[in-house]
């Protein structure tokens, strides 16, 4: 028996248009092979101009999302408009009306998931959001279903294509951060205002969602440590390469022995033989270490019209098959609430090896002063490299520390930066391992 699912779509932008395109091109295939009939019952956008092309093709259209949500003949609402407040309003209204929801809105999920998921569970509704993290990479379904025979012990992800493109181009061509960013903007890989991406905010939303799924606790993205890539220099990229590493912006999750959660976003030096090191350009990747499964890597297009739209449509097909004659209950997400918060490990309580770059005046005793401060803070040094820099009278000193607690490194850097011989604020980048 064919399963008919009537869909209300909010948002006709890049991804919304891609969803319509995929459904139009594959509708007959879904009916024939999967017994699923995906019917776009109504398409909603902000203005008559935006919905006009779809109205001309015979679709029912509207500019009133709440009116569409109230239509009892519509089974599922797709939210692809973006933003925080209005999507929250629409999704909560849809759930109150006992409608299922599919969204690609990672920012809204990260900010308001603690309201959305308990309501969905209360009303027996599905909320699917595969496209919210990693675009076309099926990481959400993998964690929720594919890895249930294992527990995720560690996760590292390259989850922002803009940053990965910038860092890749800096490594390939020796570009400055500013030049690589400009190139990314010219190629459509970075927004005119790139702050959301380059300062790690987008990665924080996605990392918090993944950390929540892995831990079964609510991880508040506003409470995790976030450092972006805007302070990474061509010199850092070159130094990392000489050490046998690449610099990547990573979202990181780890579990403590006591059930606490290590969740953060920052640049990392990744060994060149690590699975993540080969993920360049605008590609995304999620690397997981599981207790029974071992190591696994999922990689693919993390954004873009059709990859993201493909993930949305995959959720629709899964939803249609799951709700056929009530055959499958929604995955429980009611635990995603502020009453079930993760105990976050403060970043200064974490341990790592550290890449430290100091720009100093070319004078006697500077290196001795720096190493003396490391000794005072009980920090062992793995290696020291001294280099000339373009500015006359200055020297670049690169120190690689042994593994130690971050609070010790921060105390040492504060003392070093206060030295009169330090010409610029010191650089610190963590090693992945």
DSSP 315-365: HHHHHHHHHGGG-SPPPP-TT-STTSB--BPPGGG-EE-EEEEEEEES-TT
pLDDT band at 297 (very low <50, low <70, confident <90, very high): very high
Is 281 annotated as a binding-site member? no
Give 45-87 pLDDT, tens digit per residue. 999 999 999 999 999 999 999 999 999 999 999 999 989 999 9
Which of the residues are catalytic? 206
Give 366-411 pLDDT, tens digit per residue. 999 999 999 999 999 999 998 877 778 899 999 999 999 999 999 9
Element (H, E) at 252: strand 245-255
pLDDT band at 147 (very low <50, low <70, confident <90, very high): confident
* Residue range 141-145: mean pLDDT, rounded: 91
pTM assigned to the model: 0.94
Is 256 annotated as a binding-site member? no
Which are the contacts of 151, defined by CB distance < 8 A and separation ≥ 6? 255, 290, 291, 292
pLDDT of 325 over the 70 cut: no
Is 74 annotated as a binding-site member? no
Which are the contacts of 147, defined by CB distance < 8 A and separation ≥ 6? 288, 290, 293
Is 300 annotated as a binding-site member? no
Alpha helices in 216-337 (DSSP H): 234-243, 305-323
Tell me what the pLDDT averaged over the chain comes to: 94
Is 17 annotated as a binding-site member? yes
Backbone dihedral angles phi then psi of residue 427, each to the nearest 5 degrees = -105, 135
Give 183-241 pLDDT, tens digit per residue. 999 999 999 999 999 999 999 999 999 999 999 999 999 999 999 999 999 999 999 99
Is 195 annotated as a binding-site member? no
Which are the contacts of 142, defined by CB distance < 8 A and separation ≥ 6? 298
Long-range CB contact pairs, 11-15, < 8 A, 24+: 11/44, 11/45, 11/78, 11/79, 11/80, 11/81, 11/82, 12/43, 12/45, 12/50, 12/51, 12/54, 13/80, 13/81, 13/82, 14/305, 15/80, 15/104, 15/131, 15/305, 15/308, 15/309, 15/312
% of residues, the chain, pLDDT over 90: 85
Strands 427-431 and 354-361: antiparallel
Is 171 annotated as a binding-site member? no
pLDDT of 307 over the 50 cut: yes
Is 106 annotated as a binding-site member? yes
Give 157-198 pLDDT, tens digit per residue. 999 999 999 999 999 999 999 999 999 999 999 999 999 999
Q: Facing residues of 250 across strands?
A: 266
* Residue range 317-323: mean pLDDT, rounded: 83
Q: Which domains does the chain have, with CATH numbers?
A: 3-135+305-324 (3.40.50.720), 140-301 (3.30.360.10), 347-431 (3.30.70.260)
Give one word for 213, left, alpha or beta, with left for phi > 0 and alpha for psi -120 to 50.
alpha
């Amino acid at each position: 028996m064919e399963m008919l699912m009537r869909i209300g779509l909010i948002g006709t932008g890049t991804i919304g248009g891609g969803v319509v395109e995929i459904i139009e091109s594959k509708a007959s295939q879904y009916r024939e092979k999967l017994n699923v009939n995906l019917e776009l019952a109504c398409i909603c956008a902000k203005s008559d101009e935006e919905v006009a092309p779809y109205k001309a093709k015979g679709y029912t259209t509207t500019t009133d999302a709440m009116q569409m949500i109230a239509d009892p003949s519509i089974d599922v609402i797709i939210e692809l408009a973006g933003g925080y407040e209005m999507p929250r309003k629409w999704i909560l209204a849809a759930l109150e009306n006992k409608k299922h929801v599919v969204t690609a809105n990672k920012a809204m999920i990260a900010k308001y998931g603690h309201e959305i998921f308990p309501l969905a569970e209360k009303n027996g509704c599905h909320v699917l959001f595969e496209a919210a993290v990693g675009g076309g990479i099926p990481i959400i379904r993998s964690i929720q279903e594919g890895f249930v025979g294992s527990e995720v012990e560690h996760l590292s992800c390259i989850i922002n294509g803009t940053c990965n493109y910038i860092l890749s181009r800096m490594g390939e061509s020796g570009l400055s951060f500013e030049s690589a960013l400009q190139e990314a903007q010219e190629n459509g890989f970075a927004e005119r205002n790139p702050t959301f991406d380059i300062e790690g905010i987008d990665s924080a939303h996605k990392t918090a969602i993944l950390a929540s799924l892995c831990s079964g606790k609510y991880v508040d993205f506003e409470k995790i440590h976030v450092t972006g890539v805007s302070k990474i220099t061509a010199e850092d990229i070159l130094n990392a390469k000489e050490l046998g590493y690449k610099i990547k912006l990573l979202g990181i999750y780890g579990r403590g022995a006591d059930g606490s959660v290590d969740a953060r976003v920052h640049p990392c030096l990744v060994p060149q033989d690590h699975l993540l090191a080969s993920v360049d350009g605008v590609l995304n990747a999620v690397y997981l270490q599981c207790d029974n499964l071992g190591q696994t890597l999922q990689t693919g297009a993390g954004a873009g019209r059709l990859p993201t739209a493909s993930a949305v449509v995959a959720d629709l097909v899964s939803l249609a098959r799951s709700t056929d004659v009530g055959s499958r209950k929604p995955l429980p997400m009611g635990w995603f609430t502020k009453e079930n918060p993760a105990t976050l490990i403060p970043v200064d309580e974490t341990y790592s090896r550290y890449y430290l770059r100091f720009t100093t005046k070319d004078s006697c005793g500077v290196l001795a002063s720096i190493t003396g401060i490391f000794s005072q803070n009980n920090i062992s040094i793995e290696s020291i490299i001294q280099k000339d820099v373009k500015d006359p009278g200055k020297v670049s000193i690169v120190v690689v520390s042994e593994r130690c607690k971050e609070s010790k490194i921060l105390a040492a850097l504060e003392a070093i930066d206060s030295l009169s011989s330090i010409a610029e604020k010191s650089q610190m980048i963590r090693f992945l391992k």
